[in-house]
Structure 1
Amino acid sequence: MKRITILVLVFLFPCSVIFARSGGPDEFGYSFIDNHEPGGPTFSWIEIMETGTRLSLSDDSYQMVSLDGTFKYYGIDYDRVYVCSNGWISFTTGASSIGIGGIPNTSSPNATLAVYNADL
């Protein structure tokens, strides 16, 4: 009976909590924390439908977007980003993968910022 209870709890436990992580700061001073962690950011949606730039993204695709200036990320200035329809951007390459795996991760794509990182 104990095994069945544990098995049921494992499947009922939200995956987002299982994968919630935090870390850093690293040698550049960056750190990361999930909003489910103590001290994590408070989620507050800002609607940009009327002010943002609409991208022509299809499912599992990406688009290069030129920035108005430069954005310093890990000591390197970037003037463009690659926006993926699956909730993440990369400063170095476009990719249409569903997710980029766990963070930190040494596999490509690198120089990424992941908000959703899921098949949207």
Structure 2
Amino acid sequence: MPIRHAVVVGAGIGGLTAAIALHRRGWDVTVCERAPEPPATGAGIGLAPNALRALDAIGVDAARAAGSAIPDTMGVRRADGRRLTGAGTAEMAARYGTAPIAVPRPAFT
């Protein structure tokens, strides 16, 4: 079987997750990123239950790998800070079987 090669453009969470998944399926993967290092700004990333299941499917235990905290609520805000959507994590855990987690920025660097 010939070796398959993929080029992933962008080393954000989506690009790196895709690269890990492809590599674990036997692909040779090149990840291209123009930023010389991760950004120093930002508090971290929130991972909803569906994201945690997707990471688990490729063998990444985000909570174990990076440490985590369970926020009281999760939501999306506009650039000006106005809330667009939001949900309590207890309700999310009851509906989806697991609570979302917040992974702090220092876990990425």
* TM-score normalised according to structure 2 size: 0.21
Higher normalized helix content (fraction of residues): 2
Structure with bigger gyration radius: 1
